[in-house]
Amino acid sequence: MKLVDLHADIGYDVLQKKKEGYRDILKKFHVPKWQAGGIDTVCMASFFDGHETWEDMQEMILALKEEIASCEEIVLVRKKEDFSSPYIKAVLSVEGMCGIREQEETRIDWLHEQGIALASLTWNDENYLATGVKGDPNRGISEAGIRAVRRMEKHHMIIDVSHANEKSFWDIMEHTRGMVIATHSNARELCHHVRNLWDEQLSAIAKRGGVIGAVAAPWFIHENEEYWDAAHMAEHTCYVQDRIGVEHASFGFDFMDFFTGYEEAYVKGLKDASQAQNIVHELRKISISDTDLEKICYKNAIKILKTAFN
């Protein structure tokens, strides 16, 4: 069954490999895995961990766009009709806006002009706009952050809350009315990790019509290493389905096989994108219907992503 991946740090990998002299990076390193795993649409994130400047952000985004343009197996989504393409669909996203330290509205405009469809204000860091999960728990989004999310709404950009701390999460909900999703988060009730979401947060996203993308990072699946497997990741998807409805379940795998130092940090059966169909197999074991599987695997995510191209 075809899949949508709401979060993959492809921009980061592209820029690193370009600096090392590689060419045709998507074609050589990523397309074969997406094809093997049945991943039809990928939200390709430009990832910023908190130290980068605005120029750094621009460099990565433009490098990723250039790489997509040179890959004949991929189409960059710029309008709703592009989701009907037979090629792998690339949706541009941003993880963390640490490089925005002034002129937030103008810089959000630039991101929109480049085709960025969804973005988070922070990674785990505390920055000019908002506070991530490793920042001050009493600090949420700033006045500049409020202006930023409202500018995003003006452009129909989807707001991603996966790395926001709880204060930032609720501040975003208070100061926006549009689409909010968690591209790569699991359920806190099943795994007590700061990056996972409480039931109240799941419900708040559902009330906006958003989705929660189940993530294949092992630390967010279970506190016991013995349960770092596809079956226990599937439990998070089922929890979201049971708690807030199947229409709000999706995937944001966040595969890290291309990150140095994370070679052993993977979920059994979901080491990289080539194994993505294993989560479908696990959900079938739980007797989830094909109709609901289609929603979880791609229909829910595509419905959300199309809102960014109104």
Domains and CATH numbers, the chain: 3-309 (3.20.20.140)
Handedness of CA 47, 50, 51, 55 (dihedral sign): positive
Task: Look at residue 286 and tell me whether its pLDDT is greater than 80.
Answer: yes
Work out the mean pLDDT of the chain and round it to a whole number: 97
- Is residue 260 over pLDDT 90? no
Which residues of 78-191 form beta strands (DSSP E)? Answer: 88-95, 116-120, 158-160, 180-181
Q: What is the pLDDT, as a whole number, of residue 220?
A: 97
Q: How far apart are CA 274 and CA 3, in angstroms?
A: 12
What pLDDT was estimated at residue 105?
A: 98
What average pLDDT does this structure show over 247-264?
90
pTM value > 0.85: yes
Query: For residue 224, what pLDDT is reported?
Result: 95
- Among the listed residues 237, 234, 158, 171, the one whose alpha carbon sits nearest the alpha carbon of residue 201: 171
User: Cβ(46)–Cβ(94) under 8 Å?
Assistant: yes
| Residue-level pLDDT at 39 | 98
Q: What per-residue confidence (pLDDT) applies to 265?
A: 76
- In this predicted structure, the answer to whether residue 42 has a pLDDT above a threshold of 80 is yes
Contacts of 120 (CB under 8 A, 6+ apart): 94, 95, 96, 97, 159, 160, 161, 162, 163, 164, 183
